[in-house]
Amino acid sequence: MKTRIIALLIVLAGVYTGYFVYSSEVNLDSSFPFQYGLDLDGGTHLTYSADTSSILDSEVSNAMESLRQTIERRVNLFGVSEPIVQTEIGSIFGDGESDNRLIVELPGITDVTEAIDLIGKTPLLEFRIARSDAEAIAQIQEISLIEDKTEVAKKVSELYVPTGLTGGDLKRASLIFDNLTQEPQINIEFNSEGTKLFSEITRDNVGNVLAIFLDGQIISAPVIRQEIVGGNAQISGQFDLEEARDLVRDLNFGALPLPIHLIETQTIGASLGKATLESGVKALIAAFSIIFLFLIVWYRLPGLIASVSLLMYIVLMLAIFKLIPVVLTSSGLAGFILSLGMAVDANILIFERMKEEISKGNTLRNSIEEGFNRAWLSIRDGNLSSIISAVILFWLSGTSLVKGFALVFGVGVLVSMVTAVIISRTFLLAFSNDRSEGFLVKLFGTGFFKLKK
Amino acid sequence: MWITIHRKIFYTISMILVIASIVLIGVFGLKFGIDFTGGSILEFTYSSDVLEKSQVESILSNYDLGEYQLKETGRTGYILKTKTISDDVKNSMESELSVNGNNPLTIDRFNTVGPTLGDELKIKTVVALIVLSLIIIVFIAYTFRGVSTPVSSWKYGFVAIIALVHDIIIAIGFFGLLGHMFGTEINTLFVTALLVILGYSINDTIVILDRVRENLKDKSDSYREKNFTEIVGKSLRETMARSINTSLTTLLALLALYFIGAESTKDFALALIAGVFVGAYSSIFIAAPLLVSFKKGN
């Protein structure tokens, strides 16, 4: 009797979960919608590599974090819904060099040029000290002979050494006008760290040139007259009003602390994404129906029970996708469909053991209990090995494609183990009692063979 | 049991398949996708007037693309695979392909992968396969520590790994053949498929080994009275229905994914179908019989 009440409660919980999944999908204002990855929804995925060669190893993670925040601010400014900006270390085992990366995902934006502009336009502001060694002086003469402008810019930048002070140390930039000439100037306020660095640089280099570089181009090269402690600096280039205004905006919203370059782009159009999602869902329904049919034809009543518990497995997984939330991708859907096939395994293991016990002449109830107990070790060890591979996949993979698959697959195996052991078992026991013989036992048989009794 | 008795036949079949796969990979090589080699992929669809393939090719000849591949998708679109092209090149190509907007087209996909990412993926794949194999061998040796006679528990892990390497090599060989015949490429999802095959193959083998363990522990049926060959045979017979049914349901799910699922996961499903099939075979016909062969005196 007790198991029947529990079975009923499980059914109710399953129906409720199903209702939750359904209602939160129909109701557009729901706080738990499915979240689709770019390959299902359309959008742009960009991977940047950051050049960390100019800073100390110990500062890399801080610099990357401030790079991430800067880009995130910039992306948010353009009103993209739910963008993802994250850092990643792409290490190649063995050669000791790690590549610091920035990943930007922009749902809904399918115009790569627009997306790259959105991020790439951001200026890189650097303060550099002029070199005064003989080699540098020789180089100045060389430069005057070069005609190619980008080549000149490159050579000029080699004349100055980075000080470590960058746009990342900025607190605020504002537009001011020179008292005498009324020319637009940019006033820079450093944050506390920047102030300290700025005063140190100006103290140690009095009489030297402190050049201001914007995206590798020199824009201003004032001479340091004295130590500046207040944390304020003025840039007076030859700006017109509009240039100065844009520069102030860009400095405030996104002066990049590190130079970055694009190494990977992925764009999926919205229509292709929709088609991918549709075929994924169709495959899921087809896979479930075929398995359902197979189980009922082959295992009769237990097969039906397994199908119900499989249905609850699906509902539970969908609810988990919504609650965690798991971002669904085409590879995640594939992992889900595969886990469906494997979720059946635990049920099959149990049923086969159960049949053996029935053949030995045990009562139905004992056979069910024994079947579960004996199958448990195989289920545990088998599923553990699957979970281990999911964890390693998740841990070692760099791409969101593989991560999405590993997450869904791992969670799927775990949940399937629970549903098979708890839900299938309770249902089976609810259908049996000690007196149940004859007809009921037949229902527990295999489709094509008679059970030896 | 006929499987354990005639095990040499199955060893021979597997040896032939494994050697054939290695020769195939050696002779034809593997066809790597842009995930591995770096490059660009551009997929576009015309909304009304579709340019002929030759027209598209003549437009593409204006660009320095090196060796490229152009494939039709359905009747209205094309997939172009080339070396890495910049965003500017793509934009100018797009406007030429749309005849300056007179033949409107939509870009369904534009992916560009730098070559460093590709190298990283190759190394990561190999590392993942090796790390996972080592962890699994330790895991099995640990779970089977209770049964170290007549075969050491490490050997249980070892036969599982042999079955696994067998499955992986044949799956790669199968894709080498597909690559040679139909141009099927090896991409990130194929790597994922390999790792899943690995997990699945182990899972399948463990269930059979588990039964051997249980039968060995069964005092009334101890190996002292029955010989080890018979116990393994008995375990195989008892798990046969489960092995077949589980593989069958998994295969059915994968067939649904292959025939109905998204275009992007088709090759993935195919790799898994091959892997699950070979995995089920190797668990029954290779792993368990090997256990018999590994027993001293056999």
On whether both B156 and B57 belong to a single domain, the answer is: no
- Write the DSSP assignment of B32-94 as a string of letters: B-HHHH-EEEEEEEESSSPPPHHHHHHHHTTS---S-EEEEETTTEEEEEES---HHHHHHHH
Are A287 and A306 within 8 A, CB to CB? no
- Domain end, chosen from B65, B92, B113, is at B113
Average pLDDT for chain A: 78
Task: Among A93, A288, A379, A381, pick the best mutation site for testing chain B contact (most B Cβ within 10 A).
Answer: A381
Indicate the number of domains in chain B: 2
Walk along chain B (298 residues) and give the pLDDT tens digit of each residue: 777 778 888 899 999 999 999 999 998 888 888 878 888 888 888 887 788 888 888 888 888 887 788 888 777 888 888 888 877 788 888 888 888 778 888 888 888 887 766 777 777 778 878 888 888 888 888 888 877 667 788 888 888 889 989 999 999 999 889 888 888 888 877 887 887 788 788 888 888 988 888 888 776 655 555 678 888 888 898 888 888 888 888 888 888 889 988 777 888 889 989 999 999 999 999 998 898 888 765 4
**Average confidence (pLDDT) over A68-73:** 78
Are the Cβ atoms of B113 and A409 closer than 8 angstroms?
no
Of B111, B259, B261, the CB nearest to A266: B111
Closest approach of chain B CAs to the CA of A123, in angstroms? 20
On whether both B109 and B86 belong to a single domain, the answer is: yes
What confidence score (pLDDT) does residue B169 get?
A: 93
Q: Return the SS3 of A235.
A: strand
Are the Cβ atoms of A113 and B114 closer than 8 angstroms?
no
Query: The tokens of B164 are what?
Result: 């696994």
pLDDT winner (highest mean) among A64-78, A112-126, B18-32, B118-132: B18-32
> For position B282, which CATH number holds?
1.20.1640.10
On whether both B180 and B275 belong to a single domain, the answer is: yes
pLDDT winner (highest mean) among A23-37, A179-193, B172-186: B172-186
On whether both B184 and B69 belong to a single domain, the answer is: no
- Judged by average pLDDT, the poorest of A199-213, A228-242, B204-218 is A228-242
- Domain end, chosen from B83, B113, B143, is at B113
Chain B positions touching A385 (Cβ under 8 A) are 136, 139-140, 199, 202-203, 206
On whether both B183 and B248 belong to a single domain, the answer is: yes
Task: Among A262, A385, A446, pick the best mutation site for testing chain B contact (most B Cβ within 10 A).
Answer: A385
Structural domains of chain A sorted by starting position, each given as residue range(s) with its CATH number in brackets: 2-37+269-443 (1.20.1640.10), 41-123 (3.30.70.3220), 125-255 (3.30.1360.200)
The pTM for the full model equals 0.72
Higher-pLDDT residue of A146, B220: A146
Are A162 and A128 within 8 A, CB to CB? yes
On whether both B29 and B47 belong to a single domain, the answer is: no
Domain that holds residue B22: 2-34+116-294
On whether both B88 and B232 belong to a single domain, the answer is: no
Residue in the block written with tokens 């809904």: A108
What confidence score (pLDDT) does residue A445 get?
A: 58
Q: In this complex, is the C-beta atom of A103 within 8 Å of any C-beta atom belonging to chain B?
A: no
On whether both B105 and B122 belong to a single domain, the answer is: no
Per residue in A148-178, pLDDT tens? 666 676 777 778 888 888 777 878 888 888 8
Q: Please report which confidence band the pLDDT of residue A448 belongs to, taking 50, 70 and 90 as the band edges.
A: very low
* pLDDT over 90, % of chain A: 0
Higher-pLDDT residue of A281, A235: A281
Are the Cβ atoms of A389 and B196 closer than 8 angstroms?
yes
Chain B positions touching A43 (Cβ under 8 A) are none
On whether both B153 and B49 belong to a single domain, the answer is: no
What confidence score (pLDDT) does residue A206 get?
A: 83
Higher-pLDDT residue of A123, B99: B99
Identity (one letter) of the amino acid at B51?
A: L
d(CA A196, CA A199) in angstroms, rounded, equals 5
| End-to-end CA separation in angstroms for chain A | 26
d(CA B40, CA B244) in angstroms, rounded, equals 43
Are the Cβ atoms of A298 and B245 closer than 8 angstroms?
yes
- Domain end, chosen from B113, B138, B160, is at B113
Closest approach of chain B CAs to the CA of A100, in angstroms? 12
Closest approach of chain B CAs to the CA of A211, in angstroms? 32
What confidence score (pLDDT) does residue A95 get?
A: 47
Sign of CA dihedral A441, A447, A451, B2: negative
- Judged by average pLDDT, the poorest of A133-147, A402-416, B65-79 is A133-147
Q: Please report which confidence band the pLDDT of residue A98 belongs to, taking 50, 70 and 90 as the band edges.
A: low
For A341, name the nearest residue in chain B, comparing CA atoms only.
B250
Closest approach of chain B CAs to the CA of A83, in angstroms? 19
Of A47, A49, A345, the CB nearest to B246: A345
Q: Please report which confidence band the pLDDT of residue A451 belongs to, taking 50, 70 and 90 as the band edges.
A: very low
User: What DSSP designation does A99 have?
Assistant: E
On whether both B107 and B173 belong to a single domain, the answer is: no
Of B113, B202, B261, the CB nearest to A280: B261
Q: In this complex, is the C-beta atom of A151 within 8 Å of any C-beta atom belonging to chain B?
A: no
Chain B positions touching A333 (Cβ under 8 A) are 261-262, 265
Chain B positions touching A287 (Cβ under 8 A) are 252-253, 256-257
Of B188, B196, B249, the CB nearest to A291: B249
With 50 as the cut, is the pLDDT of residue A450 above it? no
With 70 as the cut, is the pLDDT of residue A397 above it? no
**Average confidence (pLDDT) over A341-348:** 81
Are B49 and B38 within 8 A, CB to CB? no
Please tell me chain A's helix, strand, coil percentages from 3-state DSSP, rounded to the nearest 5.
60, 20, 25
Closest approach of chain B CAs to the CA of A1, in angstroms? 31
On whether both B183 and B210 belong to a single domain, the answer is: yes
On whether both B134 and B188 belong to a single domain, the answer is: yes
Are the Cβ atoms of A345 and B249 closer than 8 angstroms?
yes
> For position B86, which CATH number holds?
3.30.70.3400
Closest approach of chain B CAs to the CA of A96, in angstroms? 13
Q: In this complex, is the C-beta atom of A269 within 8 Å of any C-beta atom belonging to chain B?
A: yes
